[in-house]
Amino acid sequence: MARYFVKLSYKGTKYHGWQIQPNAVTIQEILQKAFSLILKEDIEITGAGRTDTGVHALNYIAHFRANKHIPDISKLIFRLNSFLDKDIAIHEIFKVNETLHARFSAISRTYEYRIHQKKNPFLTETSLYIYDKLDFDKMNRFAKILFEYNDFTSFSKLHTDTKTNICKIIQAEWVQRNEQYVFIIEADRFLRNMVRAITGTLLDAGKNKITEQEFRKIIESKNRNSAGASVPAHGLFLTEIKYPDFL
């Protein structure tokens, strides 16, 4: 038996996120069926973490264990991509040490939230259209404040099963990319709904709805009701997952 890592990407528009759930089509379910069918054994796919309904992944990592030797991985990738829906793509499959885990071995994750301010029919499923004028300099100043804190309860979905709301933010900034503006955030871990809640609150700052002092009070309150509304899922991308150098 051997353990393999899988690098893949998916457009999450028509899926109910990563994790298998009853009465809903998810990425994990689709992959397990595809791998099991092609490898002719029951394959359980473990992902690097949840993504919510409608969220996309440019670089996602999962792992599986196979009882049988896989003689030609490139052929397996070709067969999987031929079988899978056009919204899911397998990029790499490679053998790893049994101790490595797609979720628990990760040392950081990076997300991007993408918005655009000129109507564009080609961005409707992957970027949030905002007509309001935004102060991006102010939004970047507020984003830097996040580095001063490590308890992000105010940006967490309520009633989750997480044991701690402590996270270390490594990067948080808005950048312009052609006609889009992108919020890039990297941390050692993320809480449920955290990126979308932070983004929504920073957009409130960009619309001059909150001051710097109020932004700090939102974080310090540890109260989700104090923060801004969560932005819609379709503008969110998981873009990178980092692992130890020895991987």
Show which residues are catalytic: 52
**Rounded CA gap, 247 and 243, in Å?**
7
Residues 6 or more apart whose CB falls under 8 angstroms from that of 185 comprise 110, 111, 112, 113, 143, 169, 171, 172, 195, 198
Amino acid 1: pLDDT: 85
Give 108-242's CATH code, choosing from 3.30.70.660, 1.20.58.190, 3.30.43.10, 3.40.50.800: 3.30.70.660
> CA 208, 239, 170, 188 torsion: positive or negative?
positive
In the chain, the percentage of residues whose pLDDT exceeds 90 is 92
What distance, in Å, lies between the first and last C-alpha atoms of the chain?
A: 19
* Beta strands 128-129; 56-66: pairing state: unpaired
Residue-level pLDDT at 164? 87
**Could you tell me the pTM of the whole model?**
0.94
165-174 tens-digit pLDDT: 999 999 999 9
Cβ pair 33, 23 in contact under 8 A: no
222 pLDDT above the threshold of 60 = yes
CA atoms within 13 A on the CB side of 196: 21
What is the pLDDT at residue 198?
98
pLDDT tens track for 146-159: 999 999 999 998 76
With bands split at pLDDT 50, 70 and 90, how would you rate the model's confidence at 188? very high
Number of H helices, E strands in the chain: 5, 9
- Digit-coded pLDDT (tens) for 15-65: 999 999 989 999 999 999 999 999 999 999 999 999 999 999 999 999 999
Tokens of 190: 């993320």
Backbone angles phi, psi at 56, to 5 degrees: -105, 165
Per-residue pLDDT band at 138 (split at 50, 70, 90) = very high
Assign residue 144 a region: left if phi > 0, alpha if psi is -120 to 50, beta otherwise? Answer: alpha
Residue 246 has pLDDT above 60, yes or no: no
149 and 227 Cβ atoms separated by less than 8 Å: no
On average, the pLDDT of the chain sits at: 95
Under DSSP, is residue 80 helix (H, G, I), strand (E, B) or coil?
A: helix
Fold of 2-96: Alpha-Beta Plaits (3.30.70)
Residues of the chain with CATH 3.30.70.580: 2-96
- Give residue 247's pLDDT: 57
CB 97 within 8 A of CB 109: no
Could you give the CA distance from residue 114 to residue 199 in angstroms, rounded to a whole number? 10
User: Which residues of the chain are in CATH 3.30.70.660 domains?
Assistant: 108-242
